[in-house]
Amino acid sequence: MQESRREFAKKAAMVAAGAAVVGGSSVLANSSESSVQGDSNNGVVLGSSRKKEILYKKTAAWEEFYKTAK
């Protein structure tokens, strides 16, 4: 019983590894064709939103967190 489980696990691992290699190589092949971009933006996608992005707002809760985290 143990031998059949081990053989199954070995075969399943080999199939999964083979699928990962095939899938990974096809992704690389597809991405290399579409990676040609202009030099004007260095590949950065610019949005059209006029809102200011706020990453941090100083509050009492954050101050307490930073005091205890140090």
Largest Cα separation within the chain, whole Å, is: 65
The whole-number pLDDT of residue 14 equals 86
Integer Cα distance of 32 and 29 in angstroms = 5
> Which tokens go with 7?
């053989």
> Which tokens go with 29?
């092949």
Region 2-23: what's the mean pLDDT?
78
pLDDT digits (tens, 9 = 90+) for 33-65: 444 556 677 778 888 888 888 888 889 999 999
User: pTM higher than 0.75 for the full model?
Assistant: no
The whole-number pLDDT of residue 34 equals 47
Buried-state track 6-16, b at ≥16 Cβ within 10 A, e below 16:
eeeeeeeeeee
- Asked if the model's pLDDT at residue 26 lies above 70, the reply is no
